[in-house]
Amino acid sequence: MTAAVVAFVGTGAFIIWRRRTSYHKKRRARRAANGARTEVVVVVGSPHSPLTRSVSLDLERRGFIVYIPVSTLSEEQLVQAESRADIRPLHLDITSPSATQETISRFSAHLSASHQPLPATQTHTLHLSGLLLLPPPPSTIPTGPLPALSASIWSDVLNTQLLAPFATLHAFLPLLTASQLSKVLILTPSIIPSLMPAFHAPESVVAAAMSAYAHTLRAEASSQGVRIYQFKLGNFDYSSVPGISKSQLHMPRSLLVREDLLSWDAQTRAQYAREYMAQQAHLAGVSGSEVKGSSLKELHNRVFDVLTGREASEIRWLGRGSRVYDIVGTWVPYGLVGWMLGFQGQEKVATRSEEVGGGGGDWEEVERAV
Q: Please answer whether residues 67 and 42 qualify as being in contact, where contact means their C-beta atoms are separated by less than 8 angstroms.
A: yes
Average pLDDT over residues 310-319: 90
Q: Is beta strand 315-318 parallel, antiparallel or unpaired with respect to 87-91?
A: unpaired
List, for residues 150-185, the tens digit of each pLDDT value: 999 999 999 999 999 999 999 999 999 988 789 999
CA atoms of 236 and 134, how far apart (whole Å): 14
Q: Euclidean distance between the first and final Cα of the chain, in Å? A: 55
> What type of residue sits at position 113?
A
For the stretch 62-66, contacts whose Cβ atoms lie closer than 8 Å and that sit 24 or more positions apart, written own/partner, are 62/27, 62/28, 62/29, 62/304, 63/28, 63/29, 63/30, 63/31, 63/37, 63/39, 64/29, 64/37, 64/39, 64/40, 64/129, 64/307, 65/37, 65/39, 65/40, 65/41, 65/126, 66/40, 66/41, 66/42
Within the chain, what is the greatest distance between any pair of CA atoms?
A: 105
Residue 190 has pLDDT above 90, yes or no: yes
Q: Which residues of 325-339 are buried (b: 16+ CB within 10 A; e: fewer)?
A: bbebbeeeeeeebbe
Average pLDDT over residues 132-138: 91
According to the model, what pLDDT value does residue 243 have?
72
Q: Name the percent of the chain lying above pLDDT 70.
A: 80
Cβ neighbours around 352 below 10 Å, total: 8
According to the model, what pLDDT value does residue 356 have?
31
Of 233, 232, 236, whose CA–CA distance to 292 is shortest? 236
Main-chain phi, psi angles of 80, to 5 degrees: -65, -25
According to the model, what pLDDT value does residue 94 have?
92
Residue 350 has pLDDT above 80, yes or no: no
According to the model, what pLDDT value does residue 4 have?
45
pLDDT band (50, 70, 90) for residue 354: very low
Residue 335 has pLDDT above 70, yes or no: yes
Of 137 and 233, which is predicted with more confidence?
Answer: 233
Of 116, 92, 112, whose CA–CA distance to 102 is shortest? 92
Residue 74 has pLDDT above 60, yes or no: yes
Name the strand (E) or helix (H) holding 168.
helix 164-178
According to the model, what pLDDT value does residue 251 have?
60
Of 309 and 205, which is predicted with more confidence?
Answer: 205
Of 346 and 75, which is predicted with more confidence?
Answer: 75
Residue 127 has pLDDT above 80, yes or no: yes
pTM value > 0.75? yes
Looking at every residue in the chain, the average pLDDT score rounds to 82
Helix H segments across 222-251? 246-249
Residue 355 has pLDDT above 50, yes or no: no
Name the strand (E) or helix (H) holding 367.
strand 361-369
Average pLDDT over residues 51-77: 95
Q: Please answer whether residues 185 and 229 qualify as being in contact, where contact means their C-beta atoms are separated by less than 8 angstroms.
A: yes
Main-chain phi, psi angles of 272, to 5 degrees: -125, -10
- Among the ranges given (31-45, 173-187, 306-320, 352-366), the one the predictor scored with the smallest mean pLDDT: 352-366
Residue 210 has pLDDT above 70, yes or no: yes
- Among the ranges given (95-109, 251-265, 289-303), the one the predictor scored with the smallest mean pLDDT: 251-265
pLDDT band (50, 70, 90) for residue 290: low
CA atoms of 286 and 328, how far apart (whole Å): 12
Of 15 and 162, which is predicted with more confidence?
Answer: 162
